[in-house]
């Protein structure tokens, strides 16, 4: 315990090893769906699915373990949802670039972010954001992860007219999406009751109970396994041959970002290094940079606001270490064979429940390493089991809106636009952009509210919406 105290300063942060380890497990379980989803998305480009699983787990381990020791913060890093879809569906499948050169773009992004972090550029930008907007980020990220959870649990679904609608629980999809949604809603109620009665490990218990109920429904024939629609067996399926094949796929994936002979693009005769100097490739790199940068800004601020991890003036101590971990993880992820690795919004699950040190992220990092040996277990963990944890934490994070001065129109309107922007654009970065632009134009004539960095950010977001 003395070693843990020395490394993570538990007493100074008013926490205990037991609490941090528990919340590290909870955070890992909330994030673990990425181990199944990321391979599913990236394999659509032709990348080996099993290989991407290993790349995802190892990249997450590297980023999270660095976060634990370099910053002593309870953040978990993993390949980002949204950016993995942009990588697969936009860069590779729509624009026609090979996945090898797309990975090289990720490596470049990591190098640039590392330089920005070393020179404190990213740190200064984060600390320049007004406190009102930081409170709004807490609520925005909370609602964002709630929307992700509702979608992953099939409680809501797309609709041609209303964009979103509630699941038809007892319709044709009852045995797949319907029962998943019912189990998720039941899990929310179970977790809420456990929290109300102060049951130890309420969030983790909620996940495990919901998963267990799902297994019972599968055995009873109520939950149907339909892998092609994303409804896999809820029971782990251990197969040594499958694991060996996945490892071979990973071995071939590592370093493929530097296979210059495989840098190609549909519709052009240019190959190899010649592709790097095309306008489209520059746009791709800028898009990755912009989205990753401001996703990280929004996630870190949103998760720590209204906690002891943020000072009263809105600044975050030891921020440079967190940003360095983020940039190194992206660089490593590109080399290993996965899309942009960044600070995960679901880190708020642990922080919202009281995680305060890197011991929580260290625990999660070790579990990412363990997942390499227990891949079938984590691939079997369903979205409807982790959704209740995300939704409950979303509720906890929403409380930060009480610190916003809603009578101050120039400050409150940008905060409001930031919150709704994160949710309705399904993008943390875009929500932050709307908030910053609105803040600058509504407050530029009020002394002390708009500094030169906010003007730079405003112009950067405007340029992004025009050109990217």
Each of the 468 residues of the chain gets a pLDDT tens digit; together they read 578 888 898 999 999 999 999 999 999 988 888 888 788 788 889 998 889 999 999 999 999 999 999 999 999 999 987 788 788 887 888 788 899 999 999 999 999 989 988 888 878 887 888 989 988 988 888 898 899 889 989 999 999 999 999 999 998 899 999 999 999 999 999 999 998 998 877 888 898 999 999 999 999 999 999 988 889 899 987 777 777 877 888 899 999 999 998 998 888 878 888 888 887 788 788 778 877 887 787 888 888 877 888 888 778 888 888 889 999 999 999 999 999 999 988 888 889 888 999 999 999 999 999 999 887 887 788 889 988 888 888 888 888 898 899 999 999 999 999 999 989 988 888 898 999 999 999 999 998 899 999 999 899 889 888 887
Q: Per DSSP, which regions of 38-193 are E strands? A: 77-79, 156-159, 163-166
Element (H, E) at 343: strand 341-343
The contacts of residue 418 (CB under 8 Å, 6+ apart) are 133, 136, 137, 140, 431, 432, 434, 435, 436, 438
The set of long-range contacts for 444-447, using a CB threshold of 8 Å and a minimum separation of 24, is 446/410
Give the DSSP letter of residue 163.
E
User: Can you read off the two tokens belonging to residue 13?
Assistant: 């942060």
Task: Report the half-sphere exposure of 360 (CA within 13 A, side-chain side).
Answer: 31
Cα-based distances in Å from 178 to 154, 218, 223, 365: 7, 13, 9, 34
- Which residue has tokens 């970002």? 257
Kindly report the number of other CB atoms within 10 A of residue 459's CB atom: 12
Quote the CA–CA distance of 104 and 99 in Å, as a whole number: 9
Residue found by looking up tokens 């101590």 in the block: 317
Count of residues in the chain:
468
- Quote helix, strand, coil % in the chain, to nearest 5: 70, 5, 25
Judge residue 273's burial from the number of C-beta atoms within 10 Å of its C-beta, 0-12 exposed, 13-18 middle, 19 or more buried.
Answer: exposed
Vertex 45: Cα angle to 231 and 55 (nearest 5): 75
**Pair 338, 80: CB distance under 8 Å:** no
Which residue is associated with the tokens 């405003």? 458
Structure tokens at 321: 């270490």
């Amino acid at each position: 315990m003395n070693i843990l105290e020395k490394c993570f300063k538990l007493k100074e942060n008013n926490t205990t090893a037991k609490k941090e380890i528990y919340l590290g497990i909870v955070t890992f379980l909330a994030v673990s769906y990425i181990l199944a989803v990321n391979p599913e998305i990236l394999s659509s480009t032709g990348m080996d699915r099993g290989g991407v699983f290993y790349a995802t787990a190892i990249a997450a381990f590297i980023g999270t373990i660095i976060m634990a020791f370099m910053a002593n913060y309870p953040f978990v890093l993993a390949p980002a949802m949204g950016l993995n879809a942009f990588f697969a569906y936009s860069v590779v499948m729509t624009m026609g670039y090979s996945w090898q050169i797309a990975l090289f773009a990720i490596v470049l992004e990591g190098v640039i972010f590392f330089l920005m972090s070393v020179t404190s550029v990213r740190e200064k930008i984060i600390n320049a954001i007004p406190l009102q907007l930081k409170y709004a980020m807490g609520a925005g990220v909370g609602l964002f992860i709630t929307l992700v959870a509702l979608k992953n649990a099939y409680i809501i679904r797309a609709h041609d007219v209303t964009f979103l609608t509630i699941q038809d629980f007892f319709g044709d999809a009852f045995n797949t999406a319907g029962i998943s949604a019912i189990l998720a809603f039941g899990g929310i109620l179970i977790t809420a009751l456990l929290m109300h009665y102060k049951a130890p490990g309420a969030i983790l218990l909620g996940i495990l109970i919901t998963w267990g109920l799902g297994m019972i429904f599968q055995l009873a024939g109520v939950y149907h396994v339909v892998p092609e629609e994303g409804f896999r067996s809820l029971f782990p399926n251990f197969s040594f041959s499958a694991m060996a094949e996945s490892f071979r796929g990973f071995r071939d994936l590592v370093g493929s970002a530097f296979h210059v002979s495989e840098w190609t693009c549909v519709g052009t005769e240019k190959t190899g290094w010649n592709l790097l100097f095309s306008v489209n490739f520059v746009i791709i790199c800028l898009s990755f940079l912009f989205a990753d940068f401001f996703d990280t800004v929004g996630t870190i601020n949103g998760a720590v606001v209204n906690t002891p991890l943020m000072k009263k003036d809105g600044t975050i101590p030891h921020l440079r270490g967190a940003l360095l971990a983020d940039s190194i993880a992206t660089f490593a992820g590109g080399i290993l064979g996965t899309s942009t690795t960044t600070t995960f919004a679901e880190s708020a699950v642990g922080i919202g429940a009281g995680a305060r040190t890197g011991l929580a992220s260290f625990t999660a990092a070790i579990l990412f390493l363990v997942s390499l040996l227990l891949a079938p277990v984590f691939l079997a963990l369903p979205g409807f089991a982790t959704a209740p944890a995300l939704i409950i934490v979303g509720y906890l994070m929403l409380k930060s809106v009480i610190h916003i001065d809603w009578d101050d129109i120039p400050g409150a309107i940008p905060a409001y636009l930031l919150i709704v922007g994160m949710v309705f654009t399904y993008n943390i970065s875009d929500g932050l952009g709307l908030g910053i632009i609105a803040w600058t134009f509504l407050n530029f004539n009020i002394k002390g509210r708009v500094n030169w960095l906010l003007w730079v950010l405003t112009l950067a977001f405007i340029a992004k919406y025009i050109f990217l």
